[in-house]
Structures are given as structure tokens and as C-alpha cells.
């Protein structure tokens, strides 16, 4: 909670306490008047006490400057709540003729609820030292009010020993209650400070997480665009070069390649739009992983005139959506590499589930490449590795020049 909100609540509690003061003395006046002693001094005493409470309440309602109200209004009101009723009791005790007002222990007991209200507000807002000061002031006022006049007269009545006992019980009770409230408030302030520190750490962590999420999403968008737009453009470059070479030699072959390029362009455009729209594997969502991979493999084999060997275990065990997306995109990347770069005649795609987890294997008998000399920042290979790492999978790429390529992804079964 903020300091301003805390102060506002204390002000409200102070006004409620003062209103309860009025109600308390009003009810007590009725009890004393009807059941104990119908003396005008009784009404005068309670009238004075009620006026005290209304006076302090008026102070809290006056339009003080804000800095004065926050810093001085509460301690002044609490001091008056302790001093005015106590002093009034002892003044009335020595000038009143009514017996209830002349009983020091009775008057001390009558004041206890009022002093308890002021003490609770003191312990609520201030430290334990303020509670001790409050108890000391009340005790000193009681001692002076009870014993100073008899000492001046030279006679201390025996019944004043009861007042000492009652005063001691009152003081001890106030200190015990004040200590408990003060300890509770200290604990609450500590928890509040720890909570604010924890909130600050959470805000820092949230900011860091947002930055990491943005970074991951940028990488993901780059992979998605590579898997769609980059594949289409690289394929078009190869086909357009071939068309240029066959344009004058074999016009029919050139025309067929041009038609294939147009089909590939439309497919790539559709995939790119889908990737930019949702960055999700729509075929995967619509068909499920087995059918989505089958569709990719069959379309690629038909486009590149490949001998397709397809083996997909069905049904596959359940797994997190992130794993299915990674398997789909890695399969798509590997298959498109075969179509555009491998110059292969055979394509083998396998998806199996065993004790090791879910396993994807893509094999071709194409030209291959030297895996050891591949630049680590090559988009295709690097994208495959990043996708595998996102699902805690193990990716193995085996290839050599003229010996084909094998790409195998294994995702452990216990991966969340």
C-alpha cells in the first residue's frame, strides 16, 4: 500500500474512534443516570467528555493544509484523546458531589475504553516507542491526578490503594495490547516492504521475459519465412536458370519447367501468406502430424519426380503442440532441401515412436555435402538445430559429398 493510502485509512479510523467516543460516553451517561446516581454532576461530567470528543473531531475535519494534516493532525488528536479525558476525570473527581465521580478506581475503569481506542491508533501508525510514551503519559497523569491533592492536604485515604491497583492493571493492559498491535504492524510493514521488493523483481523479470520473447519470436519469424519464402525463391532461381538454358534448345522442356515454376510460385505465395498471417503450420492443425508430413512428402516427390518411401507410425503418442510444430517444420525443411538442392532420385521419410521418444528420419541418395565444412550460420542447418533445441530434441545430420544425406531428429518421450 502507498503511504498516502495508509494515512487516509488512519484518518478515517481516527474519526470513527472519536464517533465511538461520543456513543460510549452517551450510553455510559444513561447507565449512570438511571441506575447509579441521578446527580447533575454526572451529566456535567459526561457532557464535558462528549464535548472533548467533538472538539477533537472538529480538529480532524478542519481544512488544514495537506502537510499540516498529514504530519501534525494525528499526533495532536491522539495526545488530546489521552490528556483531555484523563484530566477531566481528575478535575471532576475533586469538585463533584456525586459518589461515582469521586471514586478514583471507578473513573479509571470508565476511561479505559477511550484510552484503548487512542492506544490502538498509536500502535497502528507508530512504533513501539510511541506506545511506551503513550502509556507513560497516561500513568503520570493518573498518578498526579489521584495523589497530588491528598498529598497537599496531608491525608491519603485508604481506598486510594484500590485506585493504584486499578491504575496498574490499566497501564499493564494498555502496554500489552499496544505491544501486540505494534508487533503486528511491524510485521505487516516488513511484509509490505518485502512485497514491494518482490514486485520490483517481478517487473524486472517480466521486462526481461518480454525482451526474450520478442527475440525468440523474431528468430521464429525468420525460420518461418525461410521455410516458405526462401524455399520458394531458391527453387525459382534453380528453375529459371534451367528454363534459360533449355529455352532455345528444347522449347517444350522449357515450357514444362515454366509451368512447374508458376505452380511452385503460387504454392510458395500461399504458404508465405499463411506464415505471415498466423506463423502457424496450418496443415498440421488441419490434418494432424502424420497426414501433414505425408502431404509434404508426396507433393515434393511428385514435383521433383522422386521415388518416395514413406513410413509413418499411426497413431502416434500424444505430445505437446510445440513438439508437433517442430517435427513438421524440420520435416518440411529437410524435404525441401532434397527437392531443391540434393539432385536425388529417392526420398525416404520415416516417423516412428519407440522407447527413446518420437523419431523423424529423412534420407536421400542425392549429391550430399560436407557437413563438417558447412558454415555454422547457414540458415537451413541452423534453423533445423534451433527448432530441435526448442523442444529439447537431438538432431543428427550425416552427409558427405556424393553419398546422400540423412537427417534424424529424436525428441525424448518425457519432453513436456
CATH number of the domain encompassing residue 372: 3.30.565.10
State the average pLDDT over residues 370-379: 54
Assigned domain for 87 exists: yes
Q: Enumerate residues 6+ apart whose C-beta is below 8 A from 186.
A: 127, 128
Among left, alpha and beta (phi > 0; psi -120 to 50; other), residue 197 is alpha
Assigned domain for 248 exists: no
200 & 303 share domain: no
189 & 311 share domain: no
Q: How many domains does the chain have?
A: 2
Query: Strand, helix or coil at 113?
Result: helix
Q: Are 44 and 92 in contact (CB under 8 A)?
A: yes
96 & 199 share domain: yes
158 & 44 share domain: yes
Assigned domain for 100 exists: yes
Assigned domain for 67 exists: yes
Is the dihedral angle over the CA atoms 129, 131, 132, 134 positive or is it negative?
positive
- Rounded to whole angstroms, the Cα distance separating 88 from 50 reads 11
Q: What are the helix (H) ranges across 32-103?
A: 40-61, 66-68, 74-95, 99-102
Closest CA relative to residue 415, chosen from 356, 346, 333: 356
Range of the domain at 379: 286-416
Domain stops at, among 204, 224, 242: 204
Assigned domain for 257 exists: no
Q: List the single range of 153-157, 245-249, 281-285, 380-384 with lowest mean pLDDT.
A: 153-157
Does the pLDDT value for residue 358 go beyond 80? yes
115 & 13 share domain: yes
199 & 302 share domain: no
Assigned domain for 247 exists: no
Q: What is the pTM of this model?
A: 0.41
pLDDT single digits (tens) 115-143: 888 888 888 888 888 888 888 888 888 77
Q: Are 295 and 282 in contact (CB under 8 A)?
A: no
pLDDT single digits (tens) 274-321: 666 655 545 666 778 888 899 889 988 988 889 999 999 888 888 888
User: How does DSSP classify residue 126?
Assistant: S
Amino acid at each position: 500500500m502507498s503511504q498516502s493510502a495508509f494515512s487516509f485509512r488512519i484518518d478515517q479510523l481516527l474519526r470513527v474512534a472519536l464517533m465511538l467516543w461520543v456513543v460510549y460516553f452517551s450510553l455510559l451517561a444513561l447507565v449512570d443516570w438511571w441506575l447509579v446516581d441521578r446527580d447533575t454532576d454526572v451529566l456535567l461530567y459526561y457532557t464535558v467528555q462528549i464535548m472533548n470528543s467533538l472538539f477533537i473531531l472538529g480538529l480532524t475535519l478542519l481544512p488544514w493544509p495537506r502537510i499540516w494534516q498529514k504530519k501534525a493532525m494525528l499526533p495532536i488528536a491522539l495526545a488530546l484523546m489521552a490528556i483531555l479525558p484523563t484530566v477531566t476525570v481528575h478535575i471532576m473527581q475533586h469538585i463533584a458531589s456525586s459518589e461515582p465521580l469521586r471514586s478514583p478506581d471507578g473513573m479509571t475503569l470508565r476511561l479505559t475504553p477511550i484510552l484503548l481506542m487512542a492506544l490502538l491508533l498509536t500502535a497502528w501508525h507508530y512504533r513501539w516507542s510511541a506506545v511506551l510514551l503513550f502509556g507513560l503519559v497516561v500513568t503520570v497523569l493518573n498518578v498526579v491526578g489521584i495523589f497530588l491533592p491528598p498529598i497537599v492536604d496531608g491525608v491519603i485515604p485508604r481506598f486510594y490503594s484500590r485506585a493504584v491497583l486499578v491504575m496498574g492493571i490499566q497501564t499493564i493492559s494498555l502496554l500489552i495490547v499496544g505491544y501486540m498491535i505494534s508487533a503486528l504492524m511491524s510485521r505487516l510493514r516488513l511484509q509490505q516492504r518485502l512485497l514491494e521488493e518482490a514486485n520490483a523483481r517481478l517487473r524486472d523479470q517480466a521486462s526481461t521475459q518480454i525482451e526474450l520473447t520478442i527475440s525468440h519470436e523474431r528468430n521464429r519469424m525468420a525460420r518461418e519465412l525461410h521455410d516458405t519464402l526462401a524455399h520458394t525463391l531458391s527453387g525459382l532461381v534453380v528453375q529459371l536458370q534451367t528454363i534459360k538454358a533449355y529455352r532455345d534448345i528444347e522449347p517444350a522442356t522449357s515450357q514444362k519447367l515454366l509451368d512447374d515454376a508458376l505452380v511452385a510460385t503460387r504454392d510458395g505465395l500461399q504458404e508465405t501468406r499463411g506464415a505471415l498471417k498466423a506463423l502457424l503450420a496450418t496443415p498440421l492443425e488441419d490434418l494432424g502430424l502424420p497426414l501433414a508430413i505425408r502431404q509434404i512428402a508426396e507433393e515434393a516427390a511428385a514435383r521433383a519426380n522422386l521415388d518416395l518411401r514413406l513410413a509413418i507410425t499411426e497413431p502416434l503418442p500424444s505430445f505437446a503442440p510445440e513438439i508437433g510444430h517442430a517435427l513438421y517444420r524440420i520435416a518440411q525443411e529437410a524435404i525441401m532441401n532434397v527437392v531443391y538442392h540434393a539432385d536425388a532420385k529417392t526420398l525416404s521419410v520415416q516417423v516412428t515412436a519407440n522407447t527413446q521418444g518420437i523419431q523423424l528420419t529423412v534420407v536421400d541418395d542425392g549429391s550430399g555435402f560436407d557437413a563438417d565444412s558447412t558454415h555454422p550460420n547457414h540458415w537451413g542447418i541452423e534453423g533445423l538445430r534451433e527448432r530441435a533445441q526448442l523442444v529439447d530434441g537431438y538432431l543428427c545430420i550425416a552427409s558427405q559429398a556424393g553419398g546422400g544425406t540423412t537427417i534424424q531428429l529424436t525428441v525424448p518421450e518425457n519432453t513436456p
